[in-house]
Amino acid sequence: VSEASPIDALIDAYNDCIDQEEYERWPELFTEKCLYQVISREDFLAGRRSGFVYCDSKGMLLDRVRTLRSVNLYEPHRYRHMTGRSTLAQGDGCTSARTSYMVARISQEGDTDLFSTGEYRDEIVVEAGRALFRKRIVVCDSRRISNLLALPL
């Protein structure tokens, strides 16, 4: 059985913890000081900082998960991620990765729709043999996104 590279394993673990609704595993994929941002492609390319979501510490990610769990015992919907091959480059003490995604949303009633497409723009570091996100910017192709962005995208 071949092993995925640490970077592929990190990207798969991200998809997996969300799709399995094990959201508590999600903040553990980031470094303590980190950036998690969801932004439209239009705003990203224009260099704007404001987006749909902006978290700059693991603490903020943990808060999001706590809120999510306390507000809704049963989630109104669930996601399924599909990601392409990552394009990698060596950056400033990290590996930069760019990865296309499609995310489907499945409602409680069972309706399935293509919720969001775009790309992940990541900075990934390896700490003690394990890859972690120092930065993950979710660049959404669409300028509109549901304000029901409770779940991590």
List the one residue out of 2, 11, 36, 3 whose CA is nearest residue 95.
11
Nearer CB in complex with a copy of itself: 62/102: 102
* Residue 147 binding a copy of itself, by CB under 8 A: no
- Work out which of 115, 120, 134, 138 binds a copy of itself, going by CB under 8 A: 115
Q: Is 116 in the site for a copy of itself (CB under 8 A)?
A: yes
The identity of residue 131, as a single letter, is A
Tell the smallest beta-carbon distance from residue 37 to a copy of itself (Å).
Answer: 18
Decide: is 121 part of the binding site for a copy of itself (CB under 8 A). Answer: no
Nearest Cα to Cα of residue 81 among 28, 30, 17: 17
Burial track 85-101 (b if 16+ CB lie within 10 A, e otherwise) = ebebeeeeebbbbebeb
12 touching a copy of itself, by CB under 8 A: yes
- Rounded CA gap, 29 and 50, in Å? 23
Residue ranges that bind a copy of itself, judged by CB under 8 A: 1-2, 4-5, 7-8, 12, 15-16, 19, 78, 80-85, 87-90, 95, 100, 102, 104, 106, 109-119, 141-145
